[in-house]
Structure 1
Amino acid sequence: MKTDEIRKKYISFFEKKGHSVFPSDSLVPKDDPTLLFTGAGMNQFKDMFLGKGTLDAKKATTCQKCIRTGDIENVGRTPMHHTFFEMLGNFSFGDYFKTEAIEMAWEFMLYEMKLPKERLSVSVFLDDEESYEIWQNRIGIPEERIYRFGEKENFWPASAPSEGPNGPCGPCSEIFYDRGDGVGCGRKECAPDCDCERFVEVWNLVFTQFDRREGGALSPLPNKNVDTGMGLERMASVIQGVSTNFEIDIFKPIIQNISEITEVKYDSQAEKGKLMNRIADHVRAVIFCISDGVLPGNEGRGYVQRRLLRRAVRDGLKLGKEECFLYKLVPAIADVMFEQYPEIKQRRENIARIIKNEEERFHETLFMGNKRLDELMEDLRDSGEKNLSGQDAFQLYDTFGFPFEMTKSILEENNLSVDEDGFEKKMQMQRERAKVSSQMTGSIFDEGPLSTLKETTKESIFLGYEQSEVEGRVIGLIINEQLVDSAKAGQNVHVVLDQTPFYAEAGGQIGDTGVIRTKSANVEITDTKKSNDIIVHIGKVVEGCIRQDENVSSVVDTERRGAIKRNHSATHMLHSILRRVLGQHAEQSGSFVSPERLRFDFHHFEGVKKDEIARIEELMNERVMENATVTTDQMALDQARKAGATALFGEKYGTNVRVVSIGDYSQELCGGIHVKNTGEIGIFKIISETSIAAGIRRIEAATGHEAIAWTRRKEQMLDSLCGLLDTQENMVVQRAEDLIRQLKELRKDVQKAKKDGMQKKSSDFISKAKDISGVKVVAEVVKGADADDLRKTVDSLKKSLGSVAIILGAVGNGRVTLIVSLSSDLVKKGLHAGNIAGDIAKIVGGGGGGRPDMAQAGGQLPDKIYEAIDLGLKILQKEIDYDS
């Protein structure tokens, strides 16, 4: 049975049992700051479990794409661990409970998966007699195949009764498949709690029935819920009779592709086979992250993704693959995942480009790491040390991505070693940080005033598509994170209404502003946000007192909204035109729409040329003047996709969506507010085009009044320039070119004069050089020189003098620059330029150092420069005389 078939059977089975089918949530949880990535099927139903959700369903089933990085070190090395995986789940929100959940699970295992019941064992929480009785008496599982485990293994969250957190929790019941006596430790008493891999946990049934309170008290919940999770890849490995998840049908083509590209034969038990497993897993995770709008970066989700990709690159190096190759795996992964995730194949070119770009950057970083290691080895030799510190080895690994094994190997080739314990200590600290960053950042379930409000209010009704003024009722007032009954003049307040015309910030469109009025109060609204389905108006009471349950009139600032609408519709048009001018790869990566301007981020792997920008502007303004109609329609997601509507990277869409169409050239899924006709945009002007990340460009533009104002500012700037250059508008460029040419000639003259002067000074220094035991010593202050002049003078002196010691100083911009240089014979005798520079720099209130033959220092006390030079001369005289 293929993996796709298992997925279909599961969803179909529970749909027949009355469950509503929901699409997978995005890997980036929406409206949930407690999660870095979606790691379980229940995440998108959190409000439903609490009885605060708005879904019209009491039972649900999903196939959820997940990312977990808590066990990242085990990925590829064990048969079952993944960073990216699919979790099949069925959920009950106060509908059925333990008996039905267990019976349906057993029915699915026996009659849909056709697994032999004698191979199945189960576990229950040690105090959960109810589940034990169901498995033994209703299902008929023999007592010896029902295991009782503690709260760490069979409670959700793990160890919740004794350790918390407070909130909904409950016992678990797990289903295990026994792979037989020939697998694992071979002990007769081997059981599912043994980690020998004989028993595969394929399904976890969580019965959320308690509310944990302070002190560990477990109070029964009024609504008992069911949350289950079956690992799709694990079930496929069981059904297909293979020993690891990496040998199932959706991994085989990926592994085969890696084997062909690296020219390494795959053996699942060999070290190189495990590297291939990890590459397959990590690249799959990276692809799905990109598909959901996460790009490699230096923090948060982007940093996790970058780590995954770089680990895969390093694994490739161990397989002998020194050039970029991960991007070549995208087509194979897109093909095997196509049935459930067709969007991967649709965007595979963009995804491959992003991965290749990141690979290239990392290879450059590795090159820099190699260079840095050379410098560190030179420092070790200069200092007489033989052991590289753990801190330096870790910096090579963490900053430059340099594999520790490579660092160790190169050091050994050069008769050097590394502090392995120190490196491992730093690595452990990073693992702890990574583990924390991959876990929840707050309470599992929402807390605070909005959570309380959700107990009585499911959602705020938005009426702003057609109306800018709406009558409504106050259903919540929040001050300083507390629900209050009223708010008076001068107080900052968050207002929740039963219905509103205010658009809450979403999809890149900024929130509305305006006023909420009662008979006795005015509240000035400065922003509007959304928390799940509740719209929150953020503002200040400027007059009177607003009260809970009071009737209000909500009025949007229509002039500001008009500017926002112009910019929002322009982003849709710009998306269409960018793909026409630059290519179909120029897909939207992000946007921000405010009254003043629009910001549009898109995939493109080089700067947009000036003639392309001109063409984009030209086509945009042609579209504006066409005055095409802008229409909106509500339809099923599948219908919208079939109609060709564009769905954006990383956006989550429900089963029903809003489609915004502009003329016959733009059709996008969007919940924002738009103009009625493109003519309302007035004029479109690109203000800037920049790079914001590897493979991501940004265009900022203005429309309407702001575009006109921007053009006027440019005209005023040109007028000012004409005045400064004393020329006419049509002669500005030529006049500027003439002045630049004159400036370049003057600079040449200045440089020549400076060079002649420095040469004369060099001659003077040579003639004045002191002789100390046969060594020529130059110690001088060079007036009007900078650091570069000093270095050139040093080079000139060293060419003219044999055994020589040089100390030069200069003052510029209130700072002192000092350079110390020694000929090689003095270095061999033990003199060290870096030490001398460091000593004399203290006189001028600074510091510095460098190599034994050449060093630079600086300070902030210019009046002490002669004193510093004199000290340097005394140090040289003492050390040269001593050595002689």
Structure 2
Amino acid sequence: RSIIKQVSVISGIRYGENDQSDVSIRVISDHIRGSVFMISDGVTPSNEGRGYVLRRLIRRAARHGKLLGIKGVFLSELAKTVINENKDAYPELVNKTEHIKSWILTEEESFQKTIDQGLVILKGFIDEMKQKNNTVLSGENAFKLYDTYGFPIDLTLEILHENQLDVNVDEFEVLMQEQKERARAARNDDSSAGWDEELFGDIGNEPTEFIGYECFESTANIIGISKDNKPVNKATQGEQVTFLLDKTVFYGESGGQIGDRGVIYNDVATAIISDTKKTTSGKILHIAIVESGSFAKGDCVSAKIDLQKRQSIMRNHSATHLLQRALIKTLGKHVSQSGSFVGENYLRFDFTHFAALSDAELRAVENEVNDVILQSLNVDISHTTLEDAKARGVTALFDGKYGAQVRVVKMGDYSAELCGGCHVKNTSQIGLFKLLRESAVASGIRRIEGITGMSVISGMRQQEMQIKQIATLLKTSVGDVVEKAESLLTEIKAAGKEIELLKGKLAASSVDSFIDNAIKVGNTMVITGRVDNLDVDAMRGLGDKLRDKQPNSVAILASLQAGRINFVAMATKAAIADGANAGSIVRDVAQIAGGGGGGRPDSAQAGGKDASKIDIALGQAVDIVKKYIK
């Protein structure tokens, strides 16, 4: 009851007075309670599984808040009421208060942007349907709301049902399926591979046997060759082709890990493998340029990977596993993988989290990974059933597609994940881990990029060289670089102030000259002047001096400073009484230089775009003032 009472307080609507508002109050109360407990259990908003259920609960509660007239976000504060009401029975909620509120706030703020725009579009559809006596919204329009504005179909259905309307769900589902097919085709499309799954019907759909976990060079038979997406029987010198082998030591790009490079050769020919891809059926494609000789279908060849590249990839892949565990340990159990890239030169890991990591959190994660590296934990590979792996608490992608048998990569007692990629044998072989940057990918999704091994050493050497160069330029030692830089910045700041002061004095010396060249319009003196390299504040100060010396005057000043054009107009009370308006005058003057602006009758500023027109604008200032003086 306390949750319902709090919703009533926030909305200003008493519960029990109106059936319609009572429904919304109950929906909010029920959904916020469910959301709090789901987040406490480690679920985070997403578009998959339990995360999608949570997202729908939060968003439906937010929309019913709008129906009650609640402005802005409110659910994260309401979550505190849920926690207080249940803290005796569930004391763990108290320790997770900020974590729960942060996720709800992030999701609610994200939804605010979606719903505000989507509701306007949907209202337009509803009005149009009612005018035409149409009771069913087309699947095309429902899909447009979802695809263009991020408006979920379940929300569209709910709002339409409230208006005794419906959606052509079948048409919507067809369009959704077509979109998924387009996305799948885009993911699988790779023109460099030059391969169509249907090209070689005689090969079958069996995946290529991968023997490259322990073996880095082996013999194999060429069972297929394609060029320009067509099957061929022969590949000759200079041709770019794709080879299919009966077995291979080359890892095909998959699971976030890039493919191997290397070479295939025999006594009469050599081909450089520039990349390796994996098809949906598990065939491993060797993208190659024939360097010498010629290959034919059926040839026996030797296949050899670039071992140095593979070892760099292995270090990065194993470090990614450690990174995920370190993030969970540092940030909480809500962290889960949203994507990854494991390359030769760096690694990238996307994960669920509601806020940017602080410097302290980033240091903690980096230190944790390096600590585990130094522990020299053995990396053990085993195969088991999916059910057994889940029972043992092995980390897996929530939406990952796994067979009955799975491969488990275990690093001591620290990390255990389902993974088909290539790894070091001991964490010490990673060498070092350096976190490069952390950034946002999407709402509730963060990204970390990092490097390992010699890449860390290379980066440190480069930074060391840059610091030495800076020290040389500053004529100090490496240890005193920061102190010297701070000292110079203080000197530069003081010098800048001195320069501005001198500029002001120099400009002030021009006051008499500007007044001597003033032109009288009625009883008002029109003063113009160009004062390059003065900022707006200095220009105003000069304008004040001109007004002080000429009680009935309008001053129009122009300055070109670091490529920026500024105009300032100042008018005295007497000039304003005669009809002058600084805001209007400066606007008209600036328009001649391609700009605009305005302000008060006594003081205004504007900008320009064409520096070649500054003097022309000042030259026409008198005629512009004449338009306003009575």
TM-score, with length taken from structure 1 = 0.52
- Matched residue of 1:627: which SS? coil
**What is the Cα deviation at residue 319 of structure 1?**
2.0
Distance 1:832 1:740, change over 3 A: closer
Distance 1:608 1:349, change over 3 A: closer
1:856 counterpart residue number: 606
- Superposed, 1:348-359 pairs within 5 Å as 353-359=102-108
- Which of 373, 392, 396 is the aligned partner of 1:624? 373
**What is the Cα deviation at residue 813 of structure 1?**
4.0
Q: Which amino acid aligns with 2:317?
A: H
Matched, 1:700 2:456: no
Does the 8 A contact of 2:268 with 2:293 survive in 1? yes
- 1: CA distance between counterparts of 2:535 and 2:68? 50
1:452 counterpart residue number: 198
Does the 8 A contact of 2:238 with 2:289 survive in 1? yes
- 2: CA distance between counterparts of 1:279 and 1:799? 66
Does the 8 A contact of 2:519 with 2:622 survive in 1? no
Matched, 1:522 2:270: yes
- 1: CA distance between counterparts of 2:453 and 2:100? 35
* Residue identity (%): 34
- 2: CA distance between counterparts of 1:306 and 1:798? 63
The superposition leaves residues 790-831 of structure 1 with CA deviations (integer Å, 9 ceiling, x where unpaired) of: 456567777998876443211234564334567899999998
**What is the Cα deviation at residue 657 of structure 1?**
2.4
**What is the Cα deviation at residue 835 of structure 1?**
7.2
1:111 counterpart residue number: none
The superposition leaves residues 2-57 of structure 1 with CA deviations (integer Å, 9 ceiling, x where unpaired) of: xxxxxxxxxxxxxxxxxxxxxxxxxxxxxxxxxxxxxxxxxxxxxxxxxxxxxxxx
Distance 1:692 1:642, change over 3 A: same
The superposition leaves residues 634-676 of structure 1 with CA deviations (integer Å, 9 ceiling, x where unpaired) of: 2222321221212245544444322211011111122211011
Distance 1:266 1:711, change over 3 A: farther
2:256 counterpart residue number: 508
Distance 1:499 1:829, change over 3 A: farther
- Which of 328, 335, 340 is the aligned partner of 1:591? 340
2:152 counterpart residue number: none
- Which of 193, 205, 217 is the aligned partner of 1:469? 217
- 2: CA distance between counterparts of 1:820 and 1:747? 26
**What is the Cα deviation at residue 354 of structure 1?**
4.1
- Which of 643, 652, 657 is the aligned partner of 2:392? 643
1:496 counterpart residue number: 244
The superposition leaves residues 609-637 of structure 1 with CA deviations (integer Å, 9 ceiling, x where unpaired) of: 54554444444333223221101222222
- Superposed, 1:668-707 pairs within 5 Å as 668-693=417-442, 695-707=444-456
Q: Which amino acid aligns with 1:860?
A: D
Distance 1:328 1:637, change over 3 A: farther
2:472 counterpart residue number: 723
Matched, 1:560 2:309: yes
- 2: CA distance between counterparts of 1:650 and 1:824? 73
Matched, 1:746 2:495: yes
Matched, 1:531 2:279: yes
- 2: CA distance between counterparts of 1:740 and 1:639? 62
Does the 8 A contact of 1:496 with 1:537 survive in 2? yes
Distance 1:477 1:276, change over 3 A: farther
Does the 8 A contact of 1:838 with 1:848 survive in 2? yes
Distance 1:280 1:798, change over 3 A: farther
- Which of 294, 306, 319 is the aligned partner of 1:570? 319
**What is the Cα deviation at residue 318 of structure 1?**
3.2
- 1: CA distance between counterparts of 2:608 and 2:532? 16
Does the 8 A contact of 1:840 with 1:868 survive in 2? yes
- 2: CA distance between counterparts of 1:716 and 1:801? 61
Matched, 1:541 2:290: yes
Distance 1:572 1:309, change over 3 A: same
- 2: CA distance between counterparts of 1:796 and 1:277? 66
1:810 counterpart residue number: 559
- 2: CA distance between counterparts of 1:271 and 1:499? 67
2:156 counterpart residue number: none
Q: Which amino acid aligns with 2:477?
A: Q
Distance 1:741 1:517, change over 3 A: same
Does the 8 A contact of 2:28 with 2:62 survive in 1? no
Distance 1:687 1:780, change over 3 A: same
- Superposed, 1:101-112 pairs within 5 Å as none
The superposition leaves residues 474-521 of structure 1 with CA deviations (integer Å, 9 ceiling, x where unpaired) of: 344333333434333222223333332222222322221112335543
Q: Which amino acid aligns with 1:566?
A: R
Does the 8 A contact of 1:815 with 1:860 survive in 2? no
**What is the Cα deviation at residue 268 of structure 1?**
12
Matched, 1:487 2:243: no
- 2: CA distance between counterparts of 1:680 and 1:790? 64
Does the 8 A contact of 2:222 with 2:299 survive in 1? yes
- 2: CA distance between counterparts of 1:276 and 1:872? 67
- Superposed, 1:106-185 pairs within 5 Å as none
- 2: CA distance between counterparts of 1:645 and 1:799? 80
- 2: CA distance between counterparts of 1:802 and 1:505? 79
- 1: CA distance between counterparts of 2:147 and 2:362? 44
- Matched residue of 1:552: which SS? strand
1:865 counterpart residue number: 614
Matched, 1:290 2:46: yes
- 1: CA distance between counterparts of 2:564 and 2:532? 13
- 2: CA distance between counterparts of 1:735 and 1:832? 51
Distance 1:773 1:309, change over 3 A: farther
**What is the Cα deviation at residue 543 of structure 1?**
2.2
Q: Which amino acid aligns with 1:782?
A: V
- 2: CA distance between counterparts of 1:330 and 1:637? 37
- 2: CA distance between counterparts of 1:777 and 1:308? 67
Distance 1:833 1:746, change over 3 A: closer
- 2: CA distance between counterparts of 1:295 and 1:837? 57
- 2: CA distance between counterparts of 1:847 and 1:430? 42
Q: Which amino acid aligns with 2:608?
A: G
1:242 counterpart residue number: none
**What is the Cα deviation at residue 356 of structure 1?**
1.9
- Which of 456, 462, 483 is the aligned partner of 1:734? 483
- 1: CA distance between counterparts of 2:200 and 2:5? 51
Does the 8 A contact of 1:833 with 1:849 survive in 2? no
- Matched residue of 2:388: which SS? helix
Does the 8 A contact of 1:485 with 1:547 survive in 2? yes
- 1: CA distance between counterparts of 2:140 and 2:509? 58
Structure 2, unpaired ranges of 5+: 81-95, 124-130, 132-138, 149-174, 190-194
Distance 1:772 1:656, change over 3 A: farther
Does the 8 A contact of 1:625 with 1:679 survive in 2? yes
- 1: CA distance between counterparts of 2:349 and 2:495? 44
Does the 8 A contact of 1:688 with 1:699 survive in 2? yes
Does the 8 A contact of 1:585 with 1:604 survive in 2? yes
1:38 counterpart residue number: none
**What is the Cα deviation at residue 780 of structure 1?**
2.1
1:659 counterpart residue number: 408
**What is the Cα deviation at residue 547 of structure 1?**
3.4
Distance 1:880 1:626, change over 3 A: closer
1:319 counterpart residue number: 68
Matched, 1:880 2:625: no
TM-score, with length taken from structure 2 = 0.71
- Matched residue of 2:369: which SS? helix
- 1: CA distance between counterparts of 2:582 and 2:70? 43
Question: Across the two proteins, how many residue pairs are aligned to each other?
Answer: 552
